[in-house]
């Protein structure tokens, strides 16, 4: 398959990964393994289209396996780089023209890395791309205008949190708790734990940046 035939980029980062991760990989995905994410792909029989990072989270045997299996390999010095491995992977996906990007393993026990990866959604948005962070319990995207959510039994809850100081014109249709032209300010919890009340629901805003978080317990 040539690169132009891949429909989206899927990044496997070094956060929490597990069998659930594999269910999100499709045959037409361009697979980018960042650091330990590349080793995870190889361990489960996948060939990374690109493996990159400083690989400080893998041992020598895992690194050798990644080098031999990946179609393309790009190593970085752990000190002489300004971006995290996940940001390197995201920017690589954007540079290759992908505008539909899924990040698996972008959330985990390191809250600093998890929060930084949430902020990376803004980098994708500024490039006109749709990026999502997905783990075993959450799907996180960043909204600048509107989106439609289809009912999904995996994610019964929908929470809305401002990423900017305020988000105006928040209008929800198809939700158990609708809003019309509301303003959400940073720190408000009004948007927590809503639910779809129809087969699909629409979220629309006028200004600002809004995190749309679908989740389950």
- CATH number for the domain running over 143-215: 2.60.120.320
Residue 139 — very low, low, confident or very high, per pLDDT cuts 50/70/90? very high
3-state secondary structure of 125: helix
| Average of per-residue pLDDT across 58-84 | 91
80, pLDDT greater than 90: no
pTM, two decimals, is 0.94
In tens, the pLDDT along 164-189 reads 999 999 999 999 999 999 999 999 99
Contacts of 19 (CB under 8 A, 6+ apart): none
Q: What is the mean pLDDT of residues 78-92?
A: 89
Contact between 131 and 102 (Cβ < 8 Å):
yes
Number of H helices, E strands in the chain: 5, 13
Nearest to 11 by CA among 73, 117, 89, 118: 89
Domain 3-136 class in CATH: alpha beta
Evaluate the CA torsion angle 35, 36, 37, 43 in order and state its sign: positive
Confidence of residue 2 (pLDDT cuts 50, 70, 90): low
Q: What does the pLDDT average to over 27-55?
A: 97
For the chain, domain boundaries: 3-136, 143-215
The number of beta carbons lying within 10 Å of the beta carbon of residue 36 is 23
Average pLDDT of the chain?
Answer: 95
State the average pLDDT over residues 64-79: 92
* Average of per-residue pLDDT across 101-106: 98
Q: What is the per-residue burial (b if ≥16 Cβ within 10 Å, else e) of 49-70?
A: bbbbbbbeebeeebbebbeebb
Least confident of 45-59, 69-83, 142-156: 69-83
Written as one string, the DSSP assignment of 26-61 is -TTEEEEEETHHHHHHHHTT---SEEEE--TTS-HH
Residue 49 has pLDDT above 90, yes or no: yes
Q: What is the pLDDT of residues 183-199, one digit of tens each?
A: 999 999 999 999 999 99
């Amino acid at each position: 398959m040539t690169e132009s035939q891949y429909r989206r980029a899927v990044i496997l980062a070094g956060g929490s990964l597990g069998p659930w991760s594999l269910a999100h990989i499709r045959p037409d995905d361009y697979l980018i393994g960042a650091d330990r994410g590349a080793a995870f792909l190889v361990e489960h029989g996948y060939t990374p289209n690109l493996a990159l990072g400083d690989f400080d989270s893998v041992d020598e045997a895992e690194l050798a396996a990644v080098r031999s299996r990946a179609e393309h390999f790009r190593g970085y010095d752990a000190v002489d780089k300004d971006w995290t491995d996940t940001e390197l992977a995201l920017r690589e996906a954007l540079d290759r023209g992908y505008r539909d990007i899924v990040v698996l393993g972008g959330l985990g026990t390191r809250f600093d890395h998890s929060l930084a990866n949430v902020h990376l959604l803004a980098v994708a948005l500024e490039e006109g791309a749709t990026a999502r962070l997905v783990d075993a319990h959450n799907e996180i995207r960043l909204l600048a205008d509107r989106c439609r959510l289809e009912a999904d039994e995996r994610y019964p809850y929908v929470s809305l949190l401002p990423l900017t100081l305020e988000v105006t014109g928040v209008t929800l249709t198809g939700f158990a708790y609708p809003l019309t032209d509301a303003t959400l300010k940073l720190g408000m919890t009004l948007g927590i734990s809503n639910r779809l009340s129809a087969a699909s629901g629409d979220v629309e805003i006028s200004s600002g940046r809004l995190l749309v978080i679908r989740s389950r317990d």
